[in-house]
Amino acid sequence: MSMKKLPKKKRVGKRQFQLQLMVIPAMVFFFIFSYIPVMGLANAFLDYSLTDGFFGHAFAGMKYFKELFSSESFYLAMKNTLGMSFLKFFFTFTSPLLLALIINEVPFKWLKKATQTGSYLPHFLSYVIVATLWIVFLDSKGLINDILMRLHITDMPIEFLADSKYFWWIGVWIDCWQESGWNAIIYLAAIAGINQDIYEAAAVDGAGRLKRITQITLPSIAWTAGVLFVMNCGNLLSGGPVASNFNQSYLLGNAFNYSKSYVIQKFIVDEGLNQLRFSFAAAGNLILSVLSVTLLLTANKISKKVFGKSVF
């Protein structure tokens, strides 16, 4: 029986079934790489050893959590992770919004496209390339020091990567430079959906450009900002805009800036892979996961109160 002879509801159902089949590979991917690894968190409560097989590990209870909370390295890593993550969250959340508003107000179409394209190109660079570029830029004889000395802001070159007090701000700047343009695309798409007649009516009533931004643009994209706020909060400690914490700690961290560059992801890798203390590392990762879920639920509740909507 051909599809044309089927009733309308059956035709729609058949099309939907075919479309749903396309989702299966993605579901399999997430099941294998996102859900199955969750079982590894059980190692935080076991004396895990590679030689004991899959089910041969003795129960350790809270042993590794007690050890974790008595570790100075853990507290240093957690302090740096929270400090850097919240600092990055503020700037990486607001900078795409400001960039989108600026791009939207550019009067020339060719300039608007060039600005948008140029701003999101760094997103496609590998972080190894990004780190290498900024190591060169921040060198004592690099571009940044050359500009500062030519403008007489400083008389001597600044050792940016050898002084721990600069590390968090360097991380914030690199993340804003790399991701703002890409994240601004979402806001630009939301702005493009606003009825232009509203802007024209506001202009006729004498509303200036700043007034139109604050009274029309921002309220119209508030829910978009709310969704991104919730999603970014969920990834605050482990992914999203701050997934670069480990990359920056690993690639830009050194003995001189250790007190500010050592983060919890680096701590987990050092203990789990370098020291082969799998259960100890799993305990640290479990704490990080619990904090991430707590932040996600809190952000969703805030979104419900502020915007009257929530993601879930």
Tens of pLDDT, residues 140-186: 888 999 999 999 888 888 999 998 999 999 999 999 999 899 989 99
Q: Are 260 and 167 in contact (CB under 8 A)?
A: yes
Instruction: Give the integer Cα–Cα distance in Å for 63 and 67.
Output: 6
**CA–CA distance, 290 with 298 (Å, rounded to integer):** 12
Rounded to an integer, what distance in angstroms lies between the CA atom of residue 16 and that of residue 21? 9
pLDDT band at residue 76 under the 50/70/90 scheme: very high
Residue whose structure tokens are 């396309």:
22
CB 161 within 8 A of CB 278: no
Asked whether the predicted pLDDT for residue 259 surpasses 80, the reply is yes
Q: Do 245 and 84 form a contact (C-beta atoms < 8 A)?
A: yes
- Residue 38 to residue 41: CA distance in whole angstroms: 6
Strands 46-47 and 58-59: antiparallel
Kindly report, residue by residue over 178-236, the tens digit of the pLDDT: 989 998 999 999 998 888 888 888 888 888 888 888 888 888 888 888 888 888 887 77
Are the beta carbons of 248 and 261 closer than 8 angstroms? yes
Among candidate residues 71, 62, 47, 33, the one with its CA nearest the CA of residue 276: 47
CB atoms within 10 A of CB 278: 21
| Spatial separation of the C-alpha atoms in residues 291 and 296, rounded to whole Å | 9
Instruction: Please tell me the distance from the alpha carbon of residue 98 to that of residue 101, in angstroms, as a whole number.
Output: 5
Q: DSSP E strands: which ranges in the chain?
A: 46-47, 58-59
Where is average pLDDT lowest: 56-60, 173-177, 187-191, 284-288?
Answer: 56-60
**What three-state secondary structure class fits 47?**
strand
In whole angstroms, what separates CA 166 from the centre of its chain? 21
Give CA–CA dist 75/97, Å, rounded: 33
Q: Give the max Cα distance, the chain.
A: 84
Indicate the SS3 state at residue 48: coil
Please say if the pLDDT value at position 12 is more than 60. Answer: no
Q: What is the CATH number of domain 63-123+168-307?
A: 1.10.3720.10
For the chain, domain boundaries = 63-123+168-307
- The length of the chain in residues reads 312
Distance CA 166, CA 261 (A): 10
CA distance 130 to 124: 10
pLDDT at 7: 59
**Structure tokens belonging to residue 105:** 């107000």
Does 281 have pLDDT greater than 50?
yes
The pLDDT confidence band at residue 242, using thresholds 50, 70 and 90, is very low
This prediction has a pTM of 0.82
Q: Is the pLDDT of residue 104 over 50?
A: yes
